[in-house]
Structure formats: C-alpha cells, structure tokens
Chain A
Amino acid sequence: MFETYDIIVVGAGHSGCEAAAAAANMGSKTLLITMNMTNMAQMSCNPAMGGIAKGQIVREIDALGGYSAIVTDHTRIQFRMLNKSKGPAMWSPRAQSDRMLFSMKWREMLEATPNLDFWQDTVVDLMVKDSRVTGVKTAMGQEISAKAVILTNGTFLNGIIHIGKKQFGGGRIGEKASKGLTEHLVKLGFEARRMKTGTPVRVDGRSLNFARLDEQKGDENPQRFSFTDTPNITRQRSCYIAYTNTIVHDTLRTGFLDSPMFTGRIEGIGPRYCPSIEDKIDRFSDKNSHQLFVEPEGWNTNEYYLNGFSSSLPDYVQFAALRKIPGFESAKIFRPGYAIEYDYFPPMQLKFTLETKLIGHLYFAGQINGTTGYEEAGAQGIIAGMNAHLKLNEKPEFILKRSDAYIGVLIDDLITKGVDEPYRMFTSRAEYRILLRQDNADVRLTPMSHAVGLADDERLNRVLRKQETISKLRTFLKKESIAPDDINSYLATIGSAPLSQKVKLENLILRPEISFDEFTKQAPALQNYLATHVNDHHAEVVESAEILIKYDNYIQKEQEIAAKISRLEDIRLHDDFDYHKLKSLSWEAREKLSKIRPGTIGQASRISGVNPSDISVLIVYLGR
C-alpha cells in the first residue's frame, strides 16, 4: 500500500506541519501521519501567533520558507505590533487567528505542496536496523518504510488530562492520547520524563457583559507576518481585558483540596511563566487582582478564550469563580480548563540538527523536546525537516548560530542545557538581541535557506532588492543636506535642538526624538527621493533604514562581539572525542562533556560546569 518514503513526519501539529512542508519542498518524498486529519495545526492553547520573542521566531520561520506566517496572515482577526515604545529589537508582531480557519489554511497549503502524502493513523513503534531508523509501525498494523523519521508527537505521548479529581487519557481535550511509542523509545535507550501544562476555560461570548471589560483593539495600521505578499486585513476583532478580585480568589481557594496540582496527583513540572490561576493566587497571595485576556476564537464563533485563567480545579469551582469576575456574572462555558501531563524526551539527547544521538536519521521536534508554544514548535519542525532532507542527500547540516536567529538560541539552549520546565523563548535568552530583530529576519536567514534549497528564488530576489533599496536610501541620506531655515521651526515643535548650519539628513534621523516618517513630511527632497526610488514595500524599507541609522552603534557593538565569539563557535568537536582521556580537564567537565557531546567549542563553553580553563584545554588539544 505504501512506497518507501524519504521522510515520514509523525504528528501534524505546528512542528510536524513545518517539518513536512520543508522536507517536501526541498524534494524529499514525504508522508505526514496524523491521528486526526481534521485537526491539523490545531491551536491547542490560545488562538494567537507571535508575541514578544515569539513574533520574531515566526518571522524567522517565514524567512526560511516556512508556512506559519503565511497561514497567520491569511487567518488573523487582529494584529498588534507589541513593544513599539521600546527599541527595535523588542518590536514583536502578534496576531489573533481564527482557530478553525488557521487549521484549514494549513491543510490547504500542505495539500498544495508537491511530494507530500498524508495518512491518518497512530504510530506506535519505530523500525530500527543497525542504529538507524527504517520506518514506522502504526496502530492499524501498517509498516511503512522510510529513510528518515521525524517525531513531533506534542503532548500526545501518554497524555493525561486533569480536571479536579477527574483524570483521563488524552492528547488534547476530546482527543485520544498516543500510547506505546514512549515505551518503545525507552527500550531503544532514550530517556523520557513528564511535563505538565494547562489551558483555561472557553466561554460563550453571548453570555458576557463586554461593557464591563476593557477593549483592546488591533493596530490602526496592521503589518504582516510574512515577508511574501500575503493579504493585509481590513477589519479586525477586539480582545478584552478583565480583572480577577479577592472574591474570585476566595472562590478558587475552595477547590484547592481537590486540585490535582496541590494534592500531588500531577507529577510533571509546569512552566513558571505560565502558571495556572490557582498557582498565581497561591504563590502571590498579596496580589489582589490578576489581569485576564478575553480572546475571540474566530470570525464566525462566539467562543472566547480566557487567557490567564488556566486551571485544573474541578469544573464547578472554575465555573463558580468565573462568575465572580466583573463582566462574567452570567457567563456560560463551552469547555472547562484542564491540565495535561505528557511524556517528553530531554533534548540533550539531540544534535544541532535535532537528529537523535542514539538512532541515525531519527529526529525529534516540538513539544516532545520539552518546549511550549506553536512558534517554538514550528521552528524546530522546519529545522528538523531541512536537516533530514540534507542528510539523506549527503549535504552539509543546516545549523543556525545564536547570533543568526532566535531559532539558533532555541536549539542551542535545548541541546546544551536541557529543560527543567516547558521551554519558552524570551528575548533575554538571546545574547545578540539587537541583531535578531523581526525587521531583518529575511536579511539574516533567507539567503542561508536559499543556499541549501528551501527558500525559493522569488524570496531571495525580494530580499536582495530590499537590501539594495535600503543601501541606496542610506547613501542618499548621507549625501543630502538640509539648511537650518528649512527645518528649525519643525525641530522647535518637537523640542529638538535647532541647527546652526547645514547638516546631512542622516544626522537628523539619528536623533532619537525624530521619527523618519514625520521628518519626511518636512523634507521635500527626501519625499521626492522616496517617491521615485522606493516603490515596493515602502514601509518595510523605511523601517529598516531608520533602525540601521538610529542604532548603528549598538548593532556594530554586538556584531563585533558575535564575530569574536564565532571564532570559537566554528571549532568543531568530534562525536567520538574521548574527554576522559584529557586529565587536565576538570572531573566535572569530563563528565558533562562526555554526556552532552557538544558539537562545537562554543556549545561546550555554555555547558554549566565547563569552565573557561577547560575550554582553553580543549582548544589546545584541538591544535588551534
């Protein structure tokens, strides 16, 4: 019934979908197996993509040639650029999506992808020969051969859902868990552990009193996630903000005795940054109110997601507490919140390519690696998909460095430090935050992806054109001057120091208080230049040019540090290097290095317990 595939992707969540798309687009015969074809790329948690640090990742996935940004642009119902008051490194796109359209658009795009087949089934075992994966076995008894397998099982492996004292198997509410695969993987020698995450109640919008909530509208000039020409939105739906109070908290406390968290029935570790509401009022008991976000689930539904109210308390307690929230007095609920426990595989068992160290051509991506978030999952998916294809074709690995992308930070953190709670990206995890901006993701990554055969010519040409336009604009701003008489009255209105002689336009744009767009209106020469020379993607070009001028100093500083460090990053360490032989390494370093087997000196230097002197010893041994 099945031919031998190049690559089988197990699971069609955000990670599996990106992996399948990347592998198939690069030319591998790919099969995507999912337990339920009507639930592909499901947003199990809130119906939103992006946000701080995560928005940058979505832009990076897009720059590499992934689909997440395109799907988001097509299906969003609201867009906001967060952190606009901070520096450019912090600007983060975020969109609410229509949950159902999102899933449908993904499926539509995948079905339009060449080389990609689908099969609805549950994978229960792997076929392995001589430490290399050769295919999968399914619950329906199929044995399907493949040269590489990518596992993206999400929260489905031995998933258990908790609501108060009730507990039952499931990968998401209403969906079966996947059983058997973990045990087979453990038998092969993999280490598995448990994690926990949670999700809040979904409420019926018809029962809410929106007048008592604060409205949060989308941006007036919404931008797009994708660097390609996706449609912009013309209408948007609002989110709303609600607040808990002490009565809500007291009501929640009545359920603590039945909480699976507090009574120890949940063993998995949950994330500190995304605590359940009961956790918040327990740990921060002096805080009398917590903010909740009421997020619409789509254009054509009244379902709302109550972000911030994640809970595994008994459903009747959740319900009683909910009704104490101002605006929710007569709220009805569609589904209760729940906690879910699932198996993950500590990611120190992986290489930079996300291939497992133990079994050749077997890759893990997404929540199975202990991460959380659609964006983090999608990012791992695309990297695993690309590398699975590249390895089959005996091409060099595709590895992003910490100075290249948040995706590089993500994977390096995972495989070097492991995880002790579900891993989410924060901008503070990146050393080179100023370099890893959302506006330049295409400049950073599209050429790299094009070079290995994923991003297509059109994408590349677009980036090259954009870069050229920016550089010409910068040259113009460096050459063109403006006289005091022409600008001083404007400078006075914004409280900027007046000019005493002619200066170059660039020197004015450098001033933090001057915005490029506002300034353009005052400078006819610039207006004229933009009209004649910057035709496509005007806003994008201006944004990038302004950032490059205003923050030049900082960008250069970080580039220098990154260049210095990259000397070490590029020194490769061999898989079979015998660290125990090197008696001059500290004992702890020998142990840790033997266990983690870092791919480069740079990675080794980030392992806790490996000191600078150990790194010097390694450099010396490697002979510079």
Chain B
Amino acid sequence: MTSADAKPFPHRHLLGIEHLSADEISALLDHSDAYVELNRRPEKKLNRLRGRTLINLFFETSTRTKTSFELAGKRLGADVINMSVEGSAIKKGETLIDTAMTLNAMQPDAMVIRHPDSGAADLLSQKVNGSVINAGDGSHAHPTQALLDAVTIRRRLGHLKGLTVAICGDILHSRVARSNIQLFGKMGALVRVVAPPTLLPASIERLGVEVHNDMVAGLKDADIVMMLRLQTERMKGAFVPSIREYFRYYGLDREKLAHAKPDALIMHPGPMNRGVEIDTEVADDINRSVIREQVEMGVAVRMACLDALVHQKLERPTDVAAA
C-alpha cells in the first residue's frame, strides 16, 4: 500500500488553508484527482483507513458537507459516526467542549467539525488526541471547500497559477471566501472580491485581494466566477435593501457574465438561492457551470485530506493507479 514517493505531511489537523504550503496543496490536489477516478468505479471501497474511527460532529445543519465526509470516510474503510448537535437547547460552546471531551474518550482517529462560531475547530483541536478537520467554523474557514474548488478548476483548466478568480457576494460572512482567498493566493492566482460595501469585511484588501463594488469591473476577463450564498435574513434591509435590488446589481446573469472570459467557469459552494445571487439559466449552463462537479470533487478531496491527516503522510492511493 505504501508508495515509495510518500512525503511527510506534518499536520495533525486541517483547521485552515493558512497552515498548508503550496506544495502540500498541490499534492493534496494530485491525490484528490486519483480519488476521483476511484469514485467513478463501481467498486469504490479502499482499506486505507480500515479500523479507524471518524466522527462527524455538526453543530450546524448541513447536507452536502456531512454526506461528503461520511462517504469519504466510508470509502476509505473507516467506521463513521454522525453527530448532529444543531438546535440544541444547551449553550453551544459548552456543548462543544463537553462533547469534545466525551467523544475524545472514545478514541476517534479523526473528528470533522462544523460550528457556527469562528475558532471552534481551533478550540476543539486543543482538546482532542486525534485529527480535527474543520468543515466550516463561523465566518473563518472552510478549507476542504477551497481544496475542492481548486481541484474542480484544475481539472477543467489544467492549472491555477495566473488565473483571475472573482469571488462575488456575501464576503463578510463567508468562510468559503476566506479559505479561497488564501488558497488561490498561495497558488499564484489573482483573487478579486466583488460585493456591495456592506458585505465586505474591514481591511479585506490586506488579505491580498482586489476589491470591487461593481460586478462589471469585478468580472472583467475573469477565468472563474465564484458566487456565494446570501442568506435571506441578511437581505431584508440589514445588509442590502431587497432581493430584487441585490439581484439587479450583484446577481449573476448572462449580461454580467458576458464581461468575464468567454469560457469562464461558474462556481457556487451551495446551496444556491436561484434568483438571488444566481440566475437559474446560468447556474444550469452545462458548458460553464461546474457546480455539480464541485460536489463530486468534494468526496475525493475529503478522502485525500483524511488519508494525509490520519497517516501524516502524503501518499498516492496506489491501488487506484493499479486498477
């Protein structure tokens, strides 16, 4: 099972992109590619994590991320337990620490956490012995989403360096945006953020991005148009006055998309609000929208991450290559 070119992966946890080097990111993307092939075979199961235990600990509702991690763990042969704690009457933070200590006593090899508070995954990682994978903490980070976005793009366009990536919408509350800004920055892409001023966090330009308030300028000659979800409760006068005004100026439709490169890819981390941040026609454009591919890549990327973290090695899944 062990390939000769295995490299050490000196990380126990995956809390954010900032801890990964460009080389490590590239290697994770390479391995994700291999897992994509595996996932397309009828027989999908490996035994790289056989006997290992993975706990999915979700303090926020999630369908696709939870399913994606569950499948990733199972396809690597791990035993997977799902715990959903959202909507609990107990104060969430107490639940986090208490739950972490309890679960840790059961000797899981890896814990996947999603939590509404920024820093929750960091906090959990200080309390447990196994690996912690951040599946989204508040507005802070969602590293596997950034990695799956990168794999999706690389498979379509062949590279990341030199691309112009326009991230549009609710940057203020978006952990996906923050992780993508870091990842694409590290990989040599130009990142733009496009949003009304009320949806941009303070000093965002200090993160090394171009800041645009206008979609036409922001999308100009972009290779990638990445739309973010805008939660409905933020559209009723709090951050933007209305859905129709938001869609008029910041919703992705054919007209605005025309300013991007003709073959620009359309991405969305899901779930989409059709008619709010993205027009249905654009979202379903089979030539340009890679939104469904993103979901497929999610499983592969999480397999690559779980394998690297649990073994602390970057190893090509050799039996995939052999198949």
Q: Do A and B bind each other?
A: no
